[in-house]
Amino acid sequence: MFQKIVDMSKTYEDRGEWTKYMMLETTRKEIVMAMMMTACDLSAIAKPWEIQSKVALSVAAEFWEQGDLERTVLEQQPIPMMDRNKAADLPKLQCGFIDFVCTFVYKEFSRFHVEITPMLERLLNNRKQWNALKEEHEAKMAVLDVAKKPNEEKASAAASANQPSKTENQPQAKTCVIN
């Protein structure tokens, strides 16, 4: 619906006429206001990287505290974004958040008002920064996986060698003959 409203805004050359059109229907007005509130709630994602990355870490710390409470008090496994044990996945989670929540809002608002375009550009830049951190983490994990593999193979081979064969452990069948 918001996309239709944005598309409709392009048909009006006079801003005053557009404003009158927007005021005619409560639903249109409420949808635009709801999207504006969403954009405001998400605004930290469109700040310069130095600010945005600090805000993301602060929010993540709050989520991790909640996850700690879920684990200890409720004895439940928290979802990944609230699990302190998955803190290294923060860049991946941020990329997903930007891709599936934030980009739509700012892309549509920048079509609605070109003044929003710098915010969209910063959001996309922040996405690149998070992605670089995600790729760096994934590369380190791949190196660790390669380094672990020979040790795991040795341990598996040793465990197999120490296992008695199936025939050694199985009891011999006994036949009882009754005359």
Does 41 belong to an annotated binding site?
yes
Structure tokens at 46: 């469109």
Percent of the chain beyond pLDDT 90?
A: 51
User: DSSP letter at 170?
Assistant: S
Q: Are 29 and 22 in contact (CB under 8 A)?
A: yes
Q: Does the predicted model carry a pTM greater than 0.75?
A: no
pLDDT tens by residue, 111-132:
878 898 999 999 999 999 999 9
pLDDT tens by residue, 3-31:
676 666 666 677 777 677 777 777 777 87
DSSP for 76-133, please give it. Answer: -PPPGGG-GGGGGGHHHHHHHHIIIIIHHHHHHHHHH-GGGHHHHHHHHHHHHHHHHH
Q: Please report the pLDDT score of residue 24 as a whole number.
A: 77
